[in-house]
Amino acid sequence: MLIRDSRDINALDWDKMDGLLPAIVQDAFDGRVLMQAYMNPEALAHSLDNGLVTFWSRSRQQLWTKGETSGNTLRLVAVHADCDSDCLLVLARPAGPACHLGTDTCFDSRLQVRPELAFLAALERLVAERDCSRPEDSYTTRLFEAGVKRIAQKVGEEGLETALAAVAGDTDELTEEAADLVYHLLVLLRAAGLSLGEVVSVLESRHSPS
């Protein structure tokens, strides 16, 4: 159930855990689970009202908005309740590390605990960073400075090489060329002012139930 207002908040099963519900925070961009904390009705209402994820601190017995001292906030995208209305899934966009230890997530980031395809989102973020910072020794920088036409040409070349590898039946070469194609396509989308999310939206619209 999507939580949108006070009526939805009141419909949740707050009695089961003495007025608190576990809140699992997921990165709305790449799907990684960032952290887990607790919300009471006031914390949930505050999150919906001001757009910053707010929890109830069991140790301090007060509300705390994530990032109020560190600046590492969580911008709220949506809140969903589970089938029993006693657990919350919070979709958010993090500004900085989510963990107080300085890591992106509160789970073992060294093991790259993330959905299998989430690296595409991480790569898109990196491409965007390269576009903004333009480090001199970066191939991505050289592509951006060459312009859209050159990037589009590279996408065409990589697409052809991918197709040739498939026809030749060389699976190792096919995966290598496909990786090059995806990377250059991400750069092209960025150069054109678009995102992978917009491409995904088109795909979803084509396959949504009629």
Q: Are residues 67 and 146 in the same domain?
A: no
Q: Is residue 73 assigned to a domain?
A: yes
Q: Does 144 lie in the same domain as 124?
A: yes
Taking each helix axis from N to C end, the angle separating 139-146 and 171-191, rounded to the nearest 10 degrees, works out to 50
Residue 8 has pLDDT above 60, yes or no: yes
CATH number of the domain that residue 132 is part of: 1.10.287.1080
**CATH at residue 62:** 3.10.20.810
Q: What is the pLDDT of residue 58?
A: 93
User: Considering 81, 111, 141, which residue would you say is the last residue of a domain?
Assistant: 111
Q: How far is CA 145 from the centre of its chain?
A: 27
Of 76, 95, 111, the position where a domain reaches its end is 111
- Tell whether 53 and 142 lie within a shared domain: no
Residues 45 and 127 in one domain: no
Q: How many CA atoms lie within 13 A of 125 on its CB side?
A: 10
Both 134 and 173 in one domain: the answer is yes
Decide: 83 and 60 in contact? Cβ < 8 Å.
Answer: no
Give 2's pLDDT tier (boundaries 50, 70, 90). Answer: very high
> What pTM value is reported for the model?
0.71
Confirm whether 1 is domain-assigned: no
Number of structural domains found in the chain: 2
Say yes or no to pLDDT of 112 above 60.
Answer: no
Q: Which amino acid is at 205?
A: S
Same structural domain, 135 and 103: no
94 within some domain:
yes
DSSP characters over 47-116:
HHHHSB-EEEETTTTEEEETTTTTS--EEEEEEEE-TTSS-EEEEEEESS-SSTTSSSSSS-GGGT-S-T
> What's CA 205's distance to the chain center, in Å?
20
Asked whether residue 74 falls in the same domain as residue 124, the answer is no
Domain stop point among 111, 131, 164: 111
Domain that holds residue 76: 6-111
Task: Based on the fold, state whether residues 98 and 172 are members of the same structural domain.
Answer: no
Instruction: Say yes or no to pLDDT of 115 above 70.
Output: yes
DSSP 8-state secondary structure symbol assigned to residue 22: E
Is residue 53 a part of any domain in this protein? Answer: yes
DSSP string, 124-179: HHHHHHHHHH--TT-HHHHHHHH-HHHHHHHHHHHHHHHHHHHHHT-HHHHHHHHH
Query: Average of pLDDT values for 89-110?
Result: 88
Average pLDDT over residues 17-40: 94
How far is the C-alpha of 14 from the C-alpha of 21, rounded, in Å? 7
Banded pLDDT at 107 (limits 50, 70, 90): confident
Q: Are residues 160 and 138 in the same domain?
A: yes
